Structure 1
Amino acid sequence: IMVLLVLIFHLLFSCSHSLQYFYTAVTRGINFPELTAVGMIDGEKFLYYDGNTRQAIPKVDWIKNNVKPDYWTSQTQIIRGSEDRYKASLVTAMQRFNQSGGYYHPFQWMYGCELDGETGATDGYSQFGYDGADFLYLELRSTSYVAPVQQALITKQEWDVAEAERRKHYLTKECIYWLKKYVYYGKSILDRKVPPQVSLLQRDPSSPVVCHATGFYPDNVKISWQKDGQELHEDVDVGETLPNHDGTFQKRAELKVTPDVWKKNQFTCVVEHKSGDPIHMILTEEKIRTNSAGIIVGLVVAALVLIAVVVGVVMVVKR
């Protein structure tokens, strides 16, 4: 039995997994919930809460079918219990920055943990942002908070002992426990591997060429441009990985060279994803789709809005 359990564990956690939570408190009067909370597994949203409905709800079937109703009751109570604290933190931040109402001010908290299935290594993070910039974050190894701005020094001093220890314990123990449980619940979905669909796009003949990969899962992908077989680092702009509406992801890499240059050399877009062998797309005029660039730009904008508004992590970058 023990051998079987070890084998099951290895199969489930043979790749990396992550559990993340995003809380966003915003000022009143902008026609948006004062608090939103989102839970994500491997970049896929499984829990959502906002201050209008005041209910934690499932967003995917695999979590809905594997937990009892009292799970959602407890999650709702946990978030409700902290709602006033987040609103108060927003007010406190505004006071420390000498700001008043009348303008959109987001206060954000992102925390979570990661598990490397191959090595068993774990990691965790907890960080706060205000007005789209870093405000305070936990240094896990030293078990202490770091204040990138002077306005956060008071909070750092208050949290540097008991709160830092409590948060570290959660990130390294409880968070990993729940991460493993959620991955077990959603193993058929979370462990799937969907290859990317790759296209070369151009808005007009004088615009940069975009190598666009979409529809892939999981979200880890590398897109690069090569010139005559050598990887390019200049004249290339690689975008962020963005979510699609169906739970898959998209990413793009822009080649910033003129048509006169790429027509005289061999430029190749290389897309590497764990679903299969690398995809090599050689740049030729025949392969460029000029009539789809507007659609892709719209998808990117929509995904950015989804991240910025629904997930609530405006420019709070994971370290």
Structure 2
Amino acid sequence: MEFSIKKRKEGRAPWLSGQIRLLRYSGPGFLWFGSCAWTWHHSSSHIEAASHILQLEGPTTKIYNYILGGYGEKKQKEKEKNRIYKNQSATHVLKLAHAIRLLLEYTDSNYEEKKYTMGDAPDYDRSQWLNEKFKLGLDFPNLPYLIDGAHKITQSNAILRYIARKHNLCGETEEEKIRMDILENEVMDTRMALVRVCYNPDFEKLKPQYLEALPDKVKLFSQFLGKRPWFAGDKITYVDFLAYDILDYLRTFEPKCLDAFPNLKDFIARFEGLKKISAYMKTSRFLPKPLFLKTAVWCNK
């Protein structure tokens, strides 16, 4: 694999761009893009993230610089290591880890990211992940996953909450927590509805029907947000990262879908205006696309 090495400012770890990418990580988390695998490195623990083809799993607090059987020299010398692996499933979207990536940046977590690609059609080979899948001690082997010391976590939302708890981004009042629970699940339902359309061979036939129902769905998000600055209330929480992610999905699919809902457009502007998020979105590390795997009909590149 070919790759280039660049150094981030303020003493952060070098990261690689190309077939393998590395980023420094200082909190729990994972990353993934395309049909690839990622690994992060944390100063006090370590994480590995692998993003492959047909499944998804989550992030961690320390990184183990291991991918495809290879170890980075720098990370190989570290004593404490955590792993995060990421894989993509035919029923999941490639961007499922995007909210986690955003949360890592927002919390100024120092992490390292690695990626490996899945095979092309017609086989879409995923042996790189399958060769490791059942050797990692995961209760429910899947991608993305996160390993933080003795903690081994799968499921993207579980990983997101794990990171959020470390940074007090899980709400304070019972009302806030109820709203967060509702929104987290609504975002997943909305995402999966879009996934079913975009992976269907009859995409062009299904798209008009989906677009017809989309305004009513977006309206519900608008009503739920109301006049609040953030979805849970006055303070940002981890569900805002999920909400931003799904709204970004929808506006990518239909650019005008938010035009009738100024509070949602304001929410997006507010989120993208956050100092850490704004800075991240201006870097080459920001990977907004593809949204789906190579097996999808729409937005697979």
TM over 0.5: no
Larger Rg: 1
Which structure has more RCO (C-alpha within 8 Å, separation ≥ 6)? Answer: 2
Using the size of structure 2 for normalisation, the TM-score is 0.29
Task: Report the structure, 1 or 2, having the larger strand content.
Answer: 1
Using the size of structure 1 for normalisation, the TM-score is 0.28
